[in-house]
Structure 1
Amino acid sequence: MAAQNGDAPERSGEVMPESGATPQGGPDTLRIISADLPVNTTLHLWLKAVHPDRPGSVSLHSANGKFGEVQAVNAEENSFRIYHVFGGGRIELRYDSADTSVSVAYWFTAADVLETGITVLHTNPVNAPPDLPASYHFRPPFGWMNDPNGFGRFGGRPHLFYQHYSHGRMWNNMHWGHAVSSDYLRWRHLPVFLFPSEELSARPDKRGGAFSGSAIPLPNGPGIRVFFTEKVSDRQPEQEIQMSAVSADLFSAGEATVILPHRPQGEGLTLDFRDPYVFKGPDGRWKMLLGSQSDEGGVILLYETEDVQAAGGWTYLGKLLIETRHRTTAIECPCLLPLDGEATDPATRWALIYGLMNGRDERTGRRNLTMVDVGWFDGRSFSREFSRELDFITDNYAFQAFMDGATPVGIGWLGNWADTGPTIDFPSAMTLPRTLRLEDGQLLTPPIGAAESLRSHIIDRTRLAAGETVTFPNGAVELLLELAEAGLPFELAFHHPGVTLGLVQDETGLWLRHENGSEESPRYIVEGARVRRLRIFLDYGSVEVFADDGRIAGTKRIAGFEPVRSARLSAPADSVGHATVWALRL
């Protein structure tokens, strides 16, 4: 990452030249980030030296003068620094941008951070979040984000961890970001939770870090235990090993320890060995799923432990699943949870969810599909009843779910490795959270009920159904469409300045029209579908489709952040029962 010499202000702080100073770079290179802090505040800062031959530094000042300083000698990657401000009041963080680049600065108070979150003082143009009025999808407060991790309810609140890199909107050495909510929709950002090893933190060389995993509540009191894959791409003999760490306060992690130092032997596995998902099995023991690949295809590995803390004693039980469809190179982010009863009931059906890394559906050109198998799990083996795609448009990846009481709740990364990667600037989002349930032998994945609380006001109840164009006030909209009969044809065309976008039902099925200039688009279709009711969520950079209460779901990321500006519905006379358009906001 290049040094940033023109750092931009962000949120509650301000960055300005410091008058009367004469640094090496001249008075125009002095920067001040100011903030009013309560007592007992913790500051997190990331800074780096602009030149390898002299350190970078940030000094802290109050009305009484300078009271502290942090330094960094690394000119390749930002160094993480912590400073505790006990007195509170007005402070200034001062640095010379000729010598120092500051990537991120935020503060919080440990006593109430779960209720108030962090306050971001500063980001750079390369890692700042997009400014999107009324946008309602979860996004990080800065930097890159992909897979959800450790999704669960802890201390009475939903927590979301996620794959994260703070210093740019491109994938790099992995951290865990963190947020907390009361309703899965309105999130408070918390301090960065997991960091790469010191060796990996020295350079932005994309060699590894704290990769995906899961979390469980501590059985003997408040707190959580997280499980994650540590990857070091040039490490021998194992690039990927499994780690665990404990957080007693629900926002900071203790020292991580190794729980699985190597892959199971004699199984013909590649170096892929990742994404531990830990859950309670029907026999009361903790189970762990891991994704990998063998000569047979993508595989899901199953482990268990009798340790009630799940801190060690993990034993390999075998391959839970071997997947040969779509020539996947490895299975990622496996997840398993009960759907229609207690985990201890042998009749309960379970949902086994997993991503097909690099898999390709040759008929449609869609890649990296996420599958869900429904069947029975006895603690050691899984018996499949039926299998389906979780999302027919495929931009709901790395989906992770957990049991919130008796209700399965899940969320996915609103992206797909087919159109992003380590060199693409990509400020991404998470999908709308969804529930999972069985109904009449079918799996439904509708948005959580709280999604209705996003509705601000009705834009239209008559014009869309009449075939007129309905203009949207911004990019955050929900459309409700009900046909007179299931399977009737329609085309819902969206006006977007960058892509040709629309949703169509015809004799072939339900499909998304997505055409981006000369680029060949996959065919996003549910062949033979005959739907009647649709909920369509538009946001800046995305569209999510739920048909017949989530019997069919589809998610598509739209490049850039230009909003869909209007919609027009074409359908035969008397085929539309009703159509309603809502403006949305958090």
Structure 2
Amino acid sequence: MTISHAIPEGYRTIDVDLPVNAMLHLWLKAVTPAEPGSVSLYSVNGKFGEVQAVNAEENSFRIYHVFGGGTVTLAYDTAVTSVSVAYWFTPSDVLETGITVIHTNPANEPPDLPNGYHFRPPFGWMNDPNGFGRFGGRPHLFYQHYSHGRIWNNMHWGHAVSPDYLRWRHLPVFLFPSEELTVRPDKRGGAFSGSAIARPDGPGIRVFFTEKIADRIPEQEIQLTATSTDLFSAGAAEVLLPHRPDGEGLTFDFRDPYVFRGPDGLWKMLLGSQSAEGGVVLLYETTDNTAADGWTYLGKLYTETRYQTSALECPCLLPVDGDARDPATRWALIYGLMNGEDKETGRRNLTMIDIGWFDGRSFAKEFGRELDFGTDNYAFQAFVDGGTPVGIGWLGNWADTGPTVDFPSAMSLPRTLVLDGGELLTPPIGAAESLRARMIDRTRLVAGQSVQLPHGAAEVVFELDQPGAEFRLEFDHPEMRLALAQHAEGLEILHGFLDRPEEPPGPRYIAKAAGVKRIRVFLDYGSLEVFADGGRLAGTKRIAGFEPVRGLRLVATQGTVTQATVWSLRL
């Protein structure tokens, strides 16, 4: 019930019941420079607090601690004040309960997707996963974030925690842009991508990230570090690497620190950049056990000369088939090809994964491949969780988004990395089976009949009589031509707009000479993920908008499909 007494008539109100010691986070701005914006807080006893903002260009972040709890009303005059986001939490148990969002606006509100199961931010824009790891006994996911719209802008770190990598609780925004970037939404930089480690010298974590400020001289991108003892709020950041290594002919690109223990027990750091030879991964190390200081440049770990890529982004290196200290253990080097293009298919910004041996100073490649032939699994970050490599990627691609595109985003299904003999498999985590809510069909799809889906979240599993057998799985979507087909060239995701037949063909999302036998397809609002032969191949494709796939039909010669099952999914 609104606490109406003493609140000026015509003010917008937001009512919330708060426990004791609740913390309010609000972002507000003035509608015009002529008058400050303000939000007043009322209880049954009247007004007890107020926050203000004078900036009319960008929202200002404000904190208010409500000690007593009870029913509280936030009130403001919409003629002079705009409120972007408001949420509350209690610091003592926020890791168990998360934040409670009490206000967004049409520019940054999340989509309403019944039974959708991919991770999405509680508001605003999201891209690269950051700081992915298990801390305090739970998986944590940080991510590139802008709170006030569904478009890329000056970067923050969002944050969430999960018991199983699928069911996430949103936590308070973790990192913020520098003060000079909070003045206006000018897309000049912020807290860019990075990683996190458990602190060896005490409770909590240490995070590493790139701070970017466009046109800053002499360096646009530098590396910073900060710590958190409570796992949800960051302390003051300190400069870790203030400049690029000398004498390497690098561009201004110098970003995305990934920190991990090497086989020699020392902390290592990877960074992405670009040189005249191509995109590069740089390697640093420190003898400081806290990883807080003493970083020394060791050289270029890897140079990419294919696909005419610019900078390599979001490099990641981890052991995949044994203990990091064992010289026989093979490691996975993962990196994104920013602006790179596969001329044969037209796909851009590929993510690559190379398998080989890492001795702490050099990487000897055994073999490599694309991580994902669909390409919408970018900035993939992984770590070893109890002996199992686990990773997650941004379900997006810079080829079809950018600072001017309204793009409500998601993360991919988390995946494991498995070496099976001489092959790398990247299947979804085993917990993905817990998403199965109800079996829809076991007979109609295999018989070539249409199967209707109750909503936009579904899983399809089917098997062919022999590897490479031809089929076409057609998806009934109101706006897209969408199918998955295996033919003489390989396994292909077919994708196009129904209302744009005059458009030239887009990229071909194809795995050449795939020869697959068992296929697993995950459908969600705005995405399609394909896993073949236990993850030997994976293809991720974002589908524009949030209209659900309404039905399925499997076209194949009789006897080609030996079995097929369809489930509806939910969290």
Among 540, 544, 554, the alignment partner of 1:569 is 554
Unaligned runs of 5+ residues in structure 2 are: none
SS in 2 for 1:327: coil
How far 1:356 moved relative to its partner? 0.1
Match status 1:534 vs 2:515: no
Among 173, 194, 199, the alignment partner of 2:180 is 199
| Offset from partner CA, 1:176-197 (integer Å, 9 cap, x none) | 0000000000000000000001
Take 2:521 and 2:495, find their aligned partners in 1: how far apart are those partners? Answer: 15
Among 334, 340, 344, the alignment partner of 2:325 is 344
TM value normalised by structure 1: 0.96
Take 1:295 and 1:111, find their aligned partners in 2: how far apart are those partners? Answer: 51
> Aligned residue for 1:4?
none
| Offset from partner CA, 1:382-438 (integer Å, 9 cap, x none) | 000011000001000000000101000000000000000000000000000000010
The answer on whether the counterparts of 2:3 and 2:42 sit within 8 Å (CA) in structure 1 is no
Among 250, 254, 275, the alignment partner of 2:231 is 250
Take 2:446 and 2:339, find their aligned partners in 1: how far apart are those partners? Answer: 40
> Aligned residue for 1:361?
342
Match status 1:419 vs 2:404: no
1:530 aligned partner, one-letter code: G
Q: How does 1:163-312 map to 2 (within 5 A)?
A: 163-312=144-293
How far 1:21 moved relative to its partner? 6.5
Match status 1:324 vs 2:305: yes
1:578 aligned partner, one-letter code: Q
Moved segments of 4+, more than 6 Å: 16-21
> Aligned residue for 2:538?
553
SS in 1 for 2:566: strand
How far 1:306 moved relative to its partner? 0.3
The answer on whether the counterparts of 2:381 and 2:391 sit within 8 Å (CA) in structure 1 is yes
How far 1:222 moved relative to its partner? 1.9
Take 1:426 and 1:542, find their aligned partners in 2: how far apart are those partners? Answer: 13
> Aligned residue for 2:98?
117
> Aligned residue for 2:47?
66
The answer on whether the counterparts of 2:298 and 2:361 sit within 8 Å (CA) in structure 1 is yes
SS in 2 for 1:385: strand
Take 1:481 and 1:531, find their aligned partners in 2: how far apart are those partners? Answer: 11
> Aligned residue for 2:85?
104
> Aligned residue for 2:115?
134
| Offset from partner CA, 1:512-563 (integer Å, 9 cap, x none) | 1111224431011111111010110000000000000000000000000000
How far 1:18 moved relative to its partner? 6.6
How far 1:19 moved relative to its partner? 8.9
Take 1:467 and 1:84, find their aligned partners in 2: how far apart are those partners? Answer: 60
How far 1:216 moved relative to its partner? 0.2
Take 2:305 and 2:7, find their aligned partners in 1: how far apart are those partners? Answer: 66
Take 1:134 and 1:387, find their aligned partners in 2: how far apart are those partners? Answer: 36
1:330 aligned partner, one-letter code: A
SS in 1 for 2:356: strand
Q: CA RMSD in A?
A: 1.2
How far 1:486 moved relative to its partner? 1.2
> Aligned residue for 1:477?
458
The answer on whether the counterparts of 1:77 and 1:203 sit within 8 Å (CA) in structure 2 is yes
1:500 aligned partner, one-letter code: R
2:543 aligned partner, one-letter code: I
Match status 1:407 vs 2:392: no
Take 2:7 and 2:165, find their aligned partners in 1: how far apart are those partners? Answer: 48
> Aligned residue for 1:585?
570
1:91 aligned partner, one-letter code: V
Take 1:19 and 1:391, find their aligned partners in 2: how far apart are those partners? Answer: 59
Aligned length: 567
The answer on whether the counterparts of 2:5 and 2:46 sit within 8 Å (CA) in structure 1 is no
Q: How does 1:38-49 map to 2 (within 5 A)?
A: 38-49=19-30
The answer on whether the counterparts of 2:129 and 2:380 sit within 8 Å (CA) in structure 1 is yes
Among 137, 140, 147, the alignment partner of 2:128 is 147
2:555 aligned partner, one-letter code: S
Take 2:510 and 2:421, find their aligned partners in 1: how far apart are those partners? Answer: 23
**What is the percentage of aligned positions where both structures have the same residue?**
74
Take 1:71 and 1:21, find their aligned partners in 2: how far apart are those partners? Answer: 17
How far 1:17 moved relative to its partner? 12
The answer on whether the counterparts of 1:540 and 1:561 sit within 8 Å (CA) in structure 2 is yes
Take 2:369 and 2:467, find their aligned partners in 1: how far apart are those partners? Answer: 21
| Offset from partner CA, 1:160-185 (integer Å, 9 cap, x none) | 00000000000000000000000000
Take 2:424 and 2:240, find their aligned partners in 1: how far apart are those partners? Answer: 35
How far 1:493 moved relative to its partner? 0.4
Take 1:454 and 1:53, find their aligned partners in 2: how far apart are those partners? Answer: 52
1:205 aligned partner, one-letter code: D
1:79 aligned partner, one-letter code: S
Take 2:529 and 2:184, find their aligned partners in 1: how far apart are those partners? Answer: 37
How far 1:276 moved relative to its partner? 0.1
SS in 2 for 1:549: helix
2:120 aligned partner, one-letter code: R
Closer, same or farther: CA 18–90 of 1 in aligned 2, 3 Å: closer
1:528 aligned partner, one-letter code: A
Unaligned runs of 5+ residues in structure 1 are: 1-13
Take 2:179 and 2:299, find their aligned partners in 1: how far apart are those partners? Answer: 34
Among 391, 394, 412, the alignment partner of 2:375 is 394
2:459 aligned partner, one-letter code: E
1:568 aligned partner, one-letter code: R
2:380 aligned partner, one-letter code: F
Take 1:402 and 1:166, find their aligned partners in 2: how far apart are those partners? Answer: 27
| Offset from partner CA, 1:62-91 (integer Å, 9 cap, x none) | 000000000000000000000000000000
TM value normalised by structure 2: 0.98
| Offset from partner CA, 1:288-325 (integer Å, 9 cap, x none) | 00000000000000000000000010000000000011
The answer on whether the counterparts of 2:38 and 2:81 sit within 8 Å (CA) in structure 1 is yes
| Offset from partner CA, 1:234-288 (integer Å, 9 cap, x none) | 2100000000000000000000000000000000000000000000000000000
Match status 1:460 vs 2:445: no
2:59 aligned partner, one-letter code: N
Closer, same or farther: CA 506–19 of 1 in aligned 2, 3 Å: farther
How far 1:20 moved relative to its partner? 8.9
Take 1:440 and 1:522, find their aligned partners in 2: how far apart are those partners? Answer: 32
How far 1:485 moved relative to its partner? 1.3
Q: How does 1:76-87 map to 2 (within 5 A)?
A: 76-87=57-68
How far 1:221 moved relative to its partner? 2.8
Among 414, 419, 423, the alignment partner of 1:433 is 414
The answer on whether the counterparts of 1:33 and 1:94 sit within 8 Å (CA) in structure 2 is yes
Closer, same or farther: CA 288–271 of 1 in aligned 2, 3 Å: same
> Aligned residue for 2:72?
91
SS in 1 for 2:240: strand
| Offset from partner CA, 1:70-118 (integer Å, 9 cap, x none) | 0000000000000000000000000000000000000000000000000
1:422 aligned partner, one-letter code: P
Take 2:71 and 2:4, find their aligned partners in 1: how far apart are those partners? Answer: 16
The answer on whether the counterparts of 1:18 and 1:32 sit within 8 Å (CA) in structure 2 is no
